[in-house]
Amino acid sequence: MQQPQPVTSMPAPVPVDMLGRGHSAQFSPARPFTDEEHGTWAAILALHRPRRQAQIVSIFPDGVAKLAMDGERIPSLDDINGRLAALTGWRGVYVKGLEDGNAFYPLLRDRYFPIGNFVRDRKDLNYTPAPDIVHDLYGHLPFHADRAYADYCQRYGEFACQFLGDPVRLQRLERYFWFTIEFGLVKTPAGRRIFGAGIASSVGECAYALSDQPEVRPFDVEAICARDYRVDEMQKVLFELESPEQLYQSFSKLKACVQA
């Protein structure tokens, strides 16, 4: 006689409160990470820890502390989300990989940030061709613990959602996101600091961005919306904000450039 199969329950890949809201992202269920994956996380944070206060705009190290993300193991996303949601209403949500604009911007609109549910290879401590959990969870989420930054990203997502399915305008929005949220620099009273999560999550990119190698240009909405970029090399040109508020207050210019 055949024995009844045990009932197993898989974690739902889509957070319950997102069901029925039209999200097209490729969600991924939470999973246990291997010791090798935890080790890669720990190795990258060990390289970063002594440098980030001096290299990255203060909202980043402040966010790492607020979210208690600085441990030796990949933190539980539920734990991080509990702290982050209490601060700014944002949450991370696991996805399989890079999302295109049509899936990405509705997430931002609803205060969700996609987190690639995989860890780069141990040999790629300094660079990952695809955004992994180190880039997304460690590189991006601490910024979202800052209220002004968090509100700006939500407005950005809401604005971008007007242009889903419009490749020309989505490209302008992606360029803008790339040169600010991912690869921006910012002036501070203490000197030039990294503002972009794409730089912040890489020790090598941090050193390069603050060296005299890249050409640093003043923040310019029109120039950014018109500028192509490559994802497979260090950025030859970076843009520097006068302050984070310059970005947060650039919406009317952005609207004009994207809608032109």
**Nearest Cα to Cα of residue 55 among 203, 160, 218:** 203
Residue 18, both tokens: 């997102």
Q: How many residues bind Fe ion (CB under 5 A)?
A: 1
Query: What are the start-end ranges of the E strands in 69-190?
Result: 91-95, 112-116, 185-188
The distance of closest approach from Cβ of residue 102 to Fe ion in the complex, given in angstroms and rounded to an integer, is 17
Span near Fe ion by CB under 5 A; candidates 47-55, 94-102, 127-135, 157-165: 127-135
The distance of closest approach from Cβ of residue 138 to Fe ion in the complex, given in angstroms and rounded to an integer, is 11
For residues 131 and 184, which CB has a smaller minimum distance to Fe ion in the complex? 131
For residues 115 and 210, which CB has a smaller minimum distance to Fe ion in the complex? 115
Our measurement of the distance from residue 166's CA atom to the centroid of its chain's CA atoms, rounded to an integer in Å, reads 23
Please, which residues bridge with residue 241 across strands? 186
Span near Fe ion by CB under 5 A; candidates 71-79, 98-106, 110-118, 131-139: 131-139
Half-sphere exposure of 243 (CA within 13 A, CB side): 5
Residue window 87-126: x/- pattern of binding to Fe ion, with contact defined by CB under 5 A: ----------------------------------------
For residues 131 and 244, which CB has a smaller minimum distance to Fe ion in the complex? 131
Chain residues 193-252 in contact with Fe ion, contact rule CB under 5 A: none
For residues 63 and 131, which CB has a smaller minimum distance to Fe ion in the complex? 131
For residues 106 and 131, which CB has a smaller minimum distance to Fe ion in the complex? 131
Our measurement of the distance from residue 145's CA atom to the centroid of its chain's CA atoms, rounded to an integer in Å, reads 12
**Nearest Cα to Cα of residue 153 among 111, 205, 199, 190:** 111
For residues 153 and 210, which CB has a smaller minimum distance to Fe ion in the complex? 153
Span near Fe ion by CB under 5 A; candidates 24-32, 69-77, 130-138, 239-247: 130-138
The distance of closest approach from Cβ of residue 143 to Fe ion in the complex, given in angstroms and rounded to an integer, is 10
The distance of closest approach from Cβ of residue 216 to Fe ion in the complex, given in angstroms and rounded to an integer, is 20
* Close Cβ partners of 114 (under 8 Å, ≥ 6 residues apart): 25, 92, 93, 94, 95, 99, 103, 104, 107, 136
Span near Fe ion by CB under 5 A; candidates 70-78, 113-121, 129-137, 147-155: 129-137
DSSP string for 12-80: PSS-GGGTTS---S-B----PPPHHHHHHHHHHHHHHTTTHHHHB-THHHHHHHHTT--SSSPPPHHHH
Half-sphere exposure of 227 (CA within 13 A, CB side): 19
Q: Which parts of this chain interact with Fe ion (CB under 5 A)?
A: 131
